[in-house]
Amino acid sequence: MKSLGRLGRRDLLRTTLAAAAIWPIANALGDERATRPQAAEAKEKIAMPQSRWHCAVALDSQHNVTAGSNAALADAIRRGADLQVQTEFIHDEHIDTSSDSNELIREVAEFRTTYLLEDRAVAGIMTLRQPISLPDSFGPRPSMSFFMYNQDGQQAVARPFLDGPPAMGTPGASPLDDHSDMPKYHQQDSFDAVTNAPSSNFVYDFNVFRYLVRDDWHELLSHHADGSVVSGSVDALGDAFTQGCELKVAIRGICADLSEDAAPSRDHELFVQIDSAYYYTAQKLFIAGTHPTVRVKPAVPLRYTSKGWDLGWLMPRSDGYCARLLNDPYTLKFHRSNGHYAMRWFAR
């Protein structure tokens, strides 16, 4: 007589084989109850990345501070922090006023060039943006959308067109556009509408403004315009660069030549990240090429004016020298210049 233990094992094996044979049929008929908990369990294991960004100051639609402070934002930008701004708006109020969609849209945009003005006021410029026509296309003409946001919600845009021979109209004040169907849009002025580089200053009453900063840069070198060191060292900068750290530079007074009047230009620092860098180890000379940037005549708040801005690339050095390859947005022609500036260098 065979043992019960042996019979039990044989029955278990038969049951297992039968289930394995039936499973493809059951699965084809839609019986996936055994797999659903596993899929849910796998979904729960997806880990969200840890954000390194935090809100330095938030404004409501009337530009009142609701969280943080302008001082906290200025302190972060002074330390080299990156800037993004989150806004919220309604589709048929801001994108397509003829639409019947009242869907809430949330936008987060990065500002690759930042300004610290008079050591207290902050502005940022989107330097890499092509116009977007939501929800499915780009804008009607290839151009750069150099949107500017100040810390108080004051906004502006400059738009050099890239799709053909530049329009050669006369620069100057232009008529305001008709925004009667967009009551939250308050255009304040318009410049150079018949040229290749129109601009305007405005306020759009977004539901919320949240100024987000990533504040993890370390200042490694500060020097005067003649290269004399204020703090840090070029060796520390060279070591960080050799280890693959990202780099950023703040250049003081780089936009002063855009001021037309005889009065001294407002104190300002322009912050921009570095693309490529070179270290002359014997001379202890650090040289860098920046990301594209936008220069604007310094003011508080920062604003676009006729002939008061340009774009280009900078080549700063740790001895205070800076070569400038600047583009005239009205003609799209480049010109070269140079100068000496006080700078601060950051790494992360």
254 plus 296 within the same structural domain: yes
pLDDT of the residue at 41: 54
What are the backbone angles phi and psi of residue 150, rounded to the nearest 5°?
Answer: -95, 165
61 plus 202 within the same structural domain: yes
Q: Tokens for 274? A: 């570095």
**String of b and e for 58-74 (b: at least 16 CB within 10 Å)?**
bbebeeeeeebebebbb
Kindly list the averaged pLDDT for each block of 10 residues, start to end, along the chain of length 348. Answer: 45 48 46 50 75 97 98 98 98 95 98 98 97 95 97 98 93 96 97 98 98 98 98 97 97 94 86 97 97 98 98 98 98 98 98
228 plus 205 within the same structural domain: no
82 plus 209 within the same structural domain: yes
101 plus 187 within the same structural domain: yes
pLDDT of the residue at 121: 98
Residue where a domain terminates, one of 213, 232, 249: 213
169 plus 240 within the same structural domain: no
Residue where a domain terminates, one of 152, 187, 213: 213
249 plus 151 within the same structural domain: no
pLDDT of the residue at 34: 46
User: Which residue range(s) make up the domain with 317?
Assistant: 217-347
pLDDT of the residue at 42: 54
Has residue 4 been placed in a domain? no
Has residue 7 been placed in a domain? no
175 plus 314 within the same structural domain: no
Has residue 29 been placed in a domain? no
179 plus 266 within the same structural domain: no
Residue where a domain terminates, one of 178, 213, 248: 213
Note the pTM of the prediction, 2 decimals: 0.86
Number of domains into which the chain is organized: 2
How many Å separate Cα 100 from the centre of its chain? 31
pLDDT of the residue at 263: 72
190 plus 297 within the same structural domain: no
Has residue 15 been placed in a domain? no
Has residue 20 been placed in a domain? no
102 plus 201 within the same structural domain: yes
331 plus 255 within the same structural domain: yes
Has residue 208 been placed in a domain? yes
What are the backbone angles phi and psi of residue 236, rounded to the nearest 5°?
Answer: -65, -40
Has residue 8 been placed in a domain? no
Has residue 82 been placed in a domain? yes
